[in-house]
């Protein structure tokens, strides 16, 4: 990135910078969406961990509300608190003892949180690059007087 805001070749440099800025902006929006999905996943994992932990104090046969989607629930009775069915991806679910299921959920939560942290760091780097471009474009804007750069 050139820091010399001279008018000679300036238009071409401005176009290049604006194009790079727009690419960074698109990347930032995509990463922000992924971060949002990551946060939703973390919330779901927290809820699942709490539910498995709550099984310890629930007696077999306890009546409970079970979510079926879209904010809807059905009444059900707890048949067994010893086993939990976990989704392991690609539409595949496996049955595990409750203690193992809780540990699997906690491990998955750590992985998702780490991925979210890395995405947040990437977003920060992209924001820094966008700020650098804005700074250079501002120099071009000042050197060109009344003509607007962006």
Q: In the prediction, which pLDDT does 45 show? A: 96
- The answer, yes or no, to whether residue 145 has pLDDT greater than 70, is no
Q: In the prediction, which pLDDT does 150 show? A: 52
Q: Which of the listed ranges 32-36, 65-69, 87-91 does the model predict with the highest average pLDDT?
A: 32-36
Distance between CA 53 and CA 50 in Å, rounded? Answer: 5
Domains of the chain and any CATH numbers? 10-143 (1.10.287.370)
- The answer, yes or no, to whether residue 16 has pLDDT greater than 80, is yes
Q: In the prediction, which pLDDT does 8 show? A: 52
The two three-digit tokens of residue 107, written as one number: 């491990």
pLDDT tens profile 2-13: 445 555 567 899
The two three-digit tokens of residue 104, written as one number: 């699997």
- Contact present, 101 and 91 (Cβ < 8 Å): no
Q: DSSP for the chain, please give it.
A: ------STTHHHHHHHHHHHHHHHHHHHHHHHHHHHHHHHHHHHHHHHHHHHHHHTTPPTT-EEEEEEETTEEEEEE---SSEEEEEEETTEEEEEEHHHHHHHHHHHHHHHHHHHHHHHHHHHHHHHHHHHHHHHHHHHHHHTTTS---
Q: In the prediction, which pLDDT does 120 show? A: 95
Q: Tokens 């989607």 correspond to what residue?
A: 69
Q: In the prediction, which pLDDT does 148 show? A: 53
Q: How much is the pTM?
A: 0.76
- The answer, yes or no, to whether residue 147 has pLDDT greater than 80, is no
- Contact present, 85 and 97 (Cβ < 8 Å): no
Q: In the prediction, which pLDDT does 67 show? A: 86
- The answer, yes or no, to whether residue 127 has pLDDT greater than 60, is yes
Find the mean pLDDT for residues 108-127.
97
């Amino acid at each position: 990135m050139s820091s010399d805001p001279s008018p000679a070749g300036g238009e071409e440099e401005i176009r290049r910078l604006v194009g790079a800025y727009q690419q960074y902006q698109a990347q930032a929006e995509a990463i922000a969406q992924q971060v949002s999905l990551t946060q939703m996943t973390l919330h779901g994992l927290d809820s699942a961990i709490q539910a498995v932990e709550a099984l310890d104090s629930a007696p077999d046969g306890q009546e409970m509300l079970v979510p079926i989607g879209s904010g809807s629930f059905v009444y059900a009775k707890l048949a067994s608190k010893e086993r939990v069915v976990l989704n392991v991806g690609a539409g595949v679910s496996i049955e595990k003892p409750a203690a193992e299921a809780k540990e699997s959920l906690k491990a998955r939560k750590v992985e998702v949180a780490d991925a979210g942290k890395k995405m947040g760091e990437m977003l920060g780097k992209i924001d820094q690059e966008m700020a650098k471009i804005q700074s250079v474009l501002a120099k071009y804007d000042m050197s060109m007087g009344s003509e607007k750069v962006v």
